Chains A and B, each alone.
Chain A
């Protein structure tokens, strides 16, 4: 009843203010009249009675105001008045409004865009039920390094562990769908049967995998994504139980995943089929290759620590039922982390760095606008004084100014969300392709809340200093004319110093990243990337047998070599820096090993003869492959990398030594026939280069996806179409993907660093521009306020040069203080970037000197204009103005 009544009365007063006011003044007048009448009855004359009544009541207007000011509607009304006034003021200062709003829009927009990208990756839980229970389990090769699992280890863990509701392994799979329409290659995964139970998502239509099918020659079954189902199969729910053609084999569709389902471990995957590895674990199959990702869902109530103990116990107590080859002995354990951590750990430093950078930009933007507001405040002194004289209290004035700044921030915020929407698209376009959870990035929900909160806080933050200053100083406004200047200018100077120092922190970050990238790209990758064209060719279906696959690649190679402009060409199962590393590593055993060590595995390159030459990898010792190495032999010739040779055979001849890579314990040893230079496989920054090369033709199985590398006489890109057609002239149904010059592939391998660098550079430029504007603004203000002094100086004979120097010196003093503070800040803040740096420390002197130089140059330019104006002051005019 009461709140309702209050609401109704308030609304009435708001909507019909005039009536409400009339009522109040009627009531007061009536009271006055009755008081006067009473006095008259006591014998006073009408005039005296009136006077006495008025005396008793006090000022009628004040009483009316007191009555009127009761009620919530007054707060709303003042707010509206403040808003109206604020809007009018902003409209009458279009230049100021535009500059401030755009500055804030850039700050809020950039922050919102970055937040929208970082939030789903780092902070939001994964989009599955109880995501905290999903963990990734890796195989530790030694104390420092961990990586992919073998199927054999998975089998043992799956049977022996008691901590998991479900556990699965998976690998990438890229089947091609053939059928009535043109062939399309999909990203997919080969998974073990419990895959979807680990994620906790079930097919929307149909059913999950049956563990009974997960064996060699089991039924060909597939589960497809909602997107694929709608795109290629017309969203026909009758598809379940029917067959589709993948890689020339028929697969029965078991189910369709619900719309919106996305596998964070393989975001682009649209088809899932079973691994169908051999549970009897033959020693010479892929079952023991470290190439599978393993993850699991913890049992409810089991913590990661408990599950880790369980896994440790399994790893350190082998049982006879589970034979372990030396390269899968688990002696270093099975490290486990939450899946969220595992998939984001690679990008976490980069994203946190970018997030930090954008907050700096936001702060600089806010400081800049604060400065603008302060400058405006100086010009509005007269207005404030007038308002105080008319009875505005200090809080009232503060509120008015805060309303204005929040209003400004809201305009900036609205523009900022638009900036963010564009920015997010740019970010996604720029972002390295391995960024997880790209699909979840966008401007919605949480992001809007973030933008709203940021806007409000910024509005209050930028307004509070100017508002307090204005309301404080206006009390003494008319009294002290000159002392006011120093304090107001003082605040502005401190703010400019802050801006300069923050800008330097960003500049230093950008500089460090730039130098790192320069260093990285100056690293010799171990091969000659110029004039190389690469593309991935896949042998699908039809020739499922190994001989057919090898024949296809051999024929394709012959066809490619005949293309005019091709100098040489070769195939390899693994392309350095292609981002597909980590999948094919095998433990290497040497004949001279005293004990079968659990050594870190080496890369396996299945290559065609001519690969070493075409890539331009230097031959250190021995020979490379030739056509004679295309036939199956018992004891295979292999090449090893220089680093492997140096580690295993220091000071000895590696040639003729024998080794075994994977495979059965009783298969013949392979013979080292050559030593070749080290190649960077994972990234330019990772020197891990132990490798073994064998020809694909002599390997235990045929690699179905291989990289074609072509050395061109001229520009490699121009050969793309011709080379692709040559491959298709052999078989037009085989997909050819990822065609690009090797130089582009190398650049792509550093996409993450490059991404952070671009973001930092953009932010540093914005920060520098804002800081320069800040310096310019303060120096302009200072010149205006000192115009009389400057006039006197030049009247007393100061030269233009000396006045110019005076002002520039003043500005540069601010800059230098800011730069010193900034250098300390940068030294501390750049710690966050350490993992992204390469070849330099985060305290790289060259970078710091360089960016300080840039900053000083830009701020000198910013000081120049006001200084120039000061130098041209005509003493006669300024002195006469007094």
Chain B
């Protein structure tokens, strides 16, 4: 007996849902088109694109790690501090070359992430408070290691050169970020680990019952987040040739905003890696456009508008998500 169980929603509904899912991408496209039309070539090509993408690379790494954490239903407030720590370590070791410095930053970040992971997964402490505590502690550690002063990277050498390399017109740091995002997307969609992440966030009790390694998965995403944040700090050091005491401040909340704008639900269980990348680029682009708008001379938008606009974007996304969940609940 054939059963057409499940009322399939009408076709238009599916289209609308797809549009909503790619909302961030559409907004990004609109902004890029608008910017190109308004500011001309200087905006859309060459130097500007390069510097925007170079800038975005480190935020993208942090946001990637944050995505995985949020998809398990958790949160990581320590990413900014871990980035600072990674930056300090990398800059200090920059004399030894790019690879050792980068590796050290990643290792240190992973270690910090491990602390988070163990406290959260094994001891079942609240992620918000645990990462709040590590945020404070790790920054203290970073300040201690740097002697509460900026750390200058070795001026000549592969480390600082890394910040300037580009391939096919796109900065290498961004290529790396792109590659990592690709790997992340692949892991999310095609590996057991990725599916476990989504299952854990979707319904942790059910996931446990299904025999999935929930605790291990949770710990792993925090380690991943830490490692990526450490690397992001190293990127910062390479690109600006120094890491100051305020490095990484506010990165955690920017990352969360990017993740949410990109379409990942804060409650976990749903998410897209690609969406986060779009979110990062979108939010940073706003700042870039303000700079251009000012240079036109007609309207002076101070950079403070950037935060207001970012906040407005977040509000829009939030209200959209509310409408979506309401419909789902009623339906």
Q: State whether these chains interact.
A: no
